[in-house]
Chains A and B, each alone.
Chain A
Amino acid sequence: ILNVEQSPQSLHVQEGDSTNFTCSFPSSNFYALHWYRWETAKSPEALFVMTLNGDEKKKGRISATLNTKEGYSYLYIKGSQPEDSATYLCAFTGNYGQNFVFGPGTRLSVLP
């Protein structure tokens, strides 16, 4: 069974702070890494799909980087806002098809 880890488990920041967290995954048989944003009582919502080593994706104040050789991805949020409060999930797919292996998530709370 593949192991995908995320750190930290939870994070509290003040409004306006920038923050980042990590997703670690197996570096062998890598195909893609997905990031999802999951607000309480809602469905997980796709943020990014990353495939290439060195890839960087950006959506507004949120960006992500990918290192497939060492098996990690960083998610950055610049100038956190209370509406950024959510759980951020990463999901790994390997060379075996569409099945995702999710990490346990990082729960972000942005305090006004």
Chain B
Amino acid sequence: DAEITQSPRHKITETGRQVTLACHQTWNHNNMFWYRQDLGHGLRLIHYSYGVHDTNKGEVSDGYSVSRSNTEDLPLTLESAASSQTSVYFCASSESTVGTDTQYFGPGTRLTVL
């Protein structure tokens, strides 16, 4: 069965360190998204990609970067982790750019920055 996985599921790091969160999907979807989930805010879009070598900034992109070298993977990098980046991070994918298309979510990564 096609799926979307994230690793690690839990991560503790220190302020200033570089951290990379992995997202891998076997749906063969063109579109991939990274969200962060914070109390009172729901899911907020960090970065997204509509295909290989395409990346775009979302609502809360400062301090984050992504790269898309293949269809299956969209790693999210925190260049210099800050305590404000403590959150739960979700990756999602969808097949097309039509607004009715469902986004399928991974299980999430809980990141704590000390």
Point out residues on A near B: beta carbons under 8 Å.
1, 4, 6, 31-32, 34, 42-46, 49, 51, 89, 91, 93-95, 97-105
B108 touches A98 (CB 8 A): no
Contact of A93 with B99 at beta-carbon distance under 8 Å, contacts A43-B108, A99-B58 already known = yes
A contact residues around B105 at 8 Å (CB):
43-45
Question: Distance in Å from the Cβ of A91 to the closest Cβ of chain B?
Answer: 8
11 contacts between A and B (CB under 8 A): A4-B42, A34-B102, A34-B103, A42-B107, A43-B104, A49-B100, A94-B99, A98-B48, A98-B99, A103-B42, A104-B42
Is B42 a contact of A98 with CB atoms below 8 Å? no
- Asked whether, in the complex, the Cβ of B42 is within 8 Å of the Cβ of A105, the reply is yes
User: Are B97 and A104 in contact (CB-based, < 8 A)?
Assistant: no
Tell me whether B44 and A98 are in contact (CB under 8 A).
Answer: no
Cβ-defined contact, B107 with A100, below 8 A: no
Closest chain A residue to B100, Cβ basis: A32
Residue of B42, B45, B108 touching A89 (CB-CB under 8 A): B42
Q: Does B107 lie within 8 Å of A102, measured CB to CB?
A: no
**With the chains together, A53 CA to B59 CA distance in Å?**
28
